[in-house]
Amino acid sequence: MRCAVILAAGGSGTRLGAEVPKAFVPLAGKPLIAWSAGAMRTVRAMSQLIVAAPPGFEAGVREFLGACEVASGGTRRQDSVAEALKIVGADIDLVAVHDAARPLVAAEDVERTLAAAEACGAAILIHTPNPVLPNAETQRGPHLESYVAAVREVAVETSAILVDQYAAFTEYAQKSNLHYLMNDALHPNEYGHRFKANLLFQTLGIHDPESTVCRLFIPR
């Protein structure tokens, strides 16, 4: 099996308040995209790395990552991925798409997803959003439950792996204070992201309560 990996790196970083696109924000001395690319390069089946870069940052991608292929990103993420798909090699069997600004991806998770895709033709990991704080967000809040229901329905219809963040955060709120996990009305804080990571590990069956990551403090 030969796999192409597309790193979607076109995010602007506006919500982060960053001066550079999100994938280029530094973490521990390297941009986020470098961490993501490093993990993908250890995926055994990977034979082609393609980066959908923000227009004007194509040279920066090559500077940080070295040998890779670069597509100019579009207005939306789906446009960026579509441009990257145009340069996937003819000898590629499967394509994996990853958000370049999510640097904690593990090669093992990618390989498990590829194995599932090879077995059934495709494999999708989708998640519901976390809830918003009560009475704090009027634009999306009223529509969130119907959106969550639609995501769950898609997961059932497509046999996708579902990480139900909405259900987990809601259950947490019944036992504790949801504000502990939130940075603002919409976005989780550090503890909220730890909570999400643990949920992902549990869903994938790789949660290890003895590991350093899984033992990080989450307020209860």
Torsion, Cα of 201, 206, 207, 208 (10° steps): -150
Residues 114 and 128 both lie in one domain? no
Q: Average pLDDT, stretch 88-105?
A: 90
For residue range 160-192, list pLDDT tens digits in order.
Answer: 889 999 999 999 999 999 999 998 888 899 999
Among 74, 95, 123, give the residue marking a domain's end: 123
Q: Average pLDDT, stretch 17-38?
A: 82
Residue 136 has pLDDT above 70, yes or no: no
Amino acid at 125: L
Residues 104 and 162 both lie in one domain? no
Q: What is the pLDDT of residue 216?
A: 87
The answer to which of 7-16, 18-27, 29-38, 118-127 has the lowest mean pLDDT is 7-16
Q: Domain tally for the chain?
A: 2
Residue 13 has pLDDT above 70, yes or no: no
Q: Average pLDDT, stretch 28-55?
A: 90
Among 93, 123, 153, give the residue marking a domain's end: 123
Range(s) of the domain holding residue 82:
1-123
Among 103, 123, 143, give the residue marking a domain's end: 123
CATH number at residue 54: 3.90.550.10
CATH number at residue 178: 3.40.50.1110
Residues 163 and 61 both lie in one domain? no
| Residue 124 vs residue 188, higher pLDDT | 188
Are β-strands 46-53 and 26-27 bridged in parallel, bridged antiparallel, or unpaired? unpaired
Question: How many Å apart are CA 86 and CA 98, to the nearest integer?
Answer: 16
**pTM (2 d.p.):** 0.62
| Residue 208 vs residue 12, higher pLDDT | 208
Contacts of 48 (CB under 8 A, 6+ apart): 2, 3, 4, 5, 69, 88, 89, 92
- Between the alpha carbon of residue 142 and those of residues 130, 132, 133, 171, 188, the distances in Å are 14, 10, 12, 19, 19
Across all residues in the chain, what is the average pLDDT? 86
Residues 171 and 74 both lie in one domain? no
